[in-house]
Homo-oligomer: A and B are copies of this chain.
Amino acid sequence: MASMNTKVCIVGAGVAGLKTAHTLLNDPKSKFKAEDVLILEAQDRIGGRVLTDKTSSKLGYSYDIGGAWFHDCLSNTVLQESIDSGLFVVQKDGYFDDKDITVYDKDFNNQPVPVTDLKLNRVKEELEKFIEVYYHEDLSRKDMSLLEITDVYIKRYGDRLTSEQKKYLKKMIRYFELWDGFSADKISARYSLNDHEGRNLYNLKGYSFLLDELLRKIPASQIRTNTKVNTIVRNNKHNETKLRVETDKGIVYCDYLVVTVPLSILKLPSSHPYGISWEPSLPASITEALDATCFAALGKVIFEFNDVWWDKDVEQILHLPEETGSVELSAVLNQPPQKLIYPYLLVNYEALHKKDNKKTAQGGSFVLLTQAPLTQYLEENPDKAWDYFKASFKSFVQPGRTISEPINVITTKWTTNPYIRGSYSGVEVNGSYEDMVAQLSGEIEGLGLGYSTVRFAGEHATAVGSGCIHGAYTSGEREAAWILNHYNSLKWTL
């Protein structure tokens, strides 16, 4: 591939890129042939942050190492289309693991935190409403961290809270870290409230089904793996009618370009070995919008055991952190924290997969969701995971049972993967998100690259399902539709 021509070049073979290609090649209105669409993928595998690991388990499980749930079930296009096509049957292939979360804390000696009796959910709901109203009633209010606004609420309404409510609310609210993927001292209060459009459905089938379905109608020849894009020349002086994409395998000339690389890659300076060099540079309106966002690091640590010493029926456990004092939660970790200063969410595969028959051995497993900066540390030092977590497991070991050593520890590698560098997009204190979406989604005239043949897709380039697989999917669909419309409306052949 020293040099080649195509009509549409797509950078990135994750869900966004694959869905773009799939739509371009299969839409009834499309005039594109297979050779008109080319996907360039820097890694040696297809799928991006969708990755179903079918081989690492010693228990015969397959694990979604990337996205694992259908979020926003009321409006999740991927779920609805998969149901409609018969590919996914909710009652068989899915599991709503949304029973009230069981909460544990070191304070409560092997018993769950009495969330109901302490009315912690009511207080947490009130805090969330407080945050909403706080920024809604005065848009000019300064942003602060989720931890800080919790203190503002407690100070303002302290006379209406018990001392236990104050203490555990500050821990409970850190549950958000396991959505946002980073510690609460950095979570933007202004952006902290998630508006979920419906329930969350755990995908028992494994998200590889979605990749397989998309790949079924994309010729393998049109996906080039191990092909990293180094430079994008959007105002191509060599060939006025073509965009120029320089890879380490050669040059691609194209009429349309859809950039679906992770936000983390877009945020890198062009001089960075894994960054993209743009010629001319991206306008400041885009780079500033990118700078206002962050790239989170939700991680997973899967423990497999020869026996199930925890409640096999519990769906999710939130383990609260110890009090942290003056520790800077977001500081890079060079050694494991001395105590459990980050909350984690345990998802119990035994409960979720009980209607699934893939498991071949005795024993059982669960996964812990972690946040930055702990994720980075554990992904770099997976051998330290067991020692760090095991003391906290005393909170919920079943009475009379002994915590056994794991037979297998599997951690994600998203932060150590130089092509991914984390999990998904987010907003830190004083950041913003709408700007990036407006700049990249191409939906608002005059913003971003304007009415340009250089397009963006991915979980970060959409306000619908941002951070999610269905967000990446619909953004790919959106860009394909734009290109089809643009191409079909041309009066001449390019």
Contact = CB atoms under 8 A, between A and B. Distances in A.
Interface string A102-127: 00000000000000110101110110
A381 interface: no
A197 B129 contact: yes
A99 interface: yes
Given A83-B159, A90-B160, A198 B99 contact: no
Contacts of A116: 99-100
B126 A160 contact: no
B197 A133 contact: yes
A155 to B, nearest CB: 14
Contacts of A130: 74, 198
Nearest to A196: B129
Contacts of A117: 99
B129 A160 contact: no
A354 interface: no
Contacts of A119: 96, 98-99
Nearest to A118: B99
A116 B126 CA distance: 21
B197 A160 contact: no
Contact of A122 (B90, B125, B199): B199
A133 B74 contact: yes
Interface in A184-214: 196-199, 201
A157 B75 CA distance: 11
Nearest to A75: B133
A100 B157 CA distance: 21
Most chain B beta-carbon contacts within 10 A, residue among A83, A96, A123 = A96
A199 B126 contact: yes
> Nearest 7 A-B pairs (CB), nearest first?
A98-B122, A90-B160, A126-B198, A126-B199, A100-B116, A90-B159, A122-B199
B201 A160 contact: yes
Nearest to A198: B126
A371 to B, nearest CB: 24
A83 B75 CA distance: 44
Copy number of this protein in the oligomer? 2
B74 A129 contact: yes
Nearest to A83: B159
A100 B118 CA distance: 10
A70 to B, nearest CB: 10
A136 to B, nearest CB: 10
A91 interface: yes
Contacts of A99: 116-117, 119, 122
A133 B72 CA distance: 12
A121 B133 contact: no
A73 interface: yes
A130 to B, nearest CB: 6
Interface in A344-367: none
Interface string A146-179: 0000000000010110000000000000000000
Contact of A198 (B98, B129, B198): B129
8 contacts: A73-B126, A74-B130, A74-B133, A75-B133, A83-B159, A96-B122, A129-B196, A133-B197
Interface in A412-437: none
Interface string A42-70: 00000000000000000000000000000
Contacts of A75: 133
A74 B199 CA distance: 27
Contacts of A197: 129, 133
A226 B133 CA distance: 43
Interface string A85-98: 00000110010101
Nearest to A79: B160
A159 B73 CA distance: 12
Given A100-B116, A121-B100, A133-B197, A126 B74 contact: yes
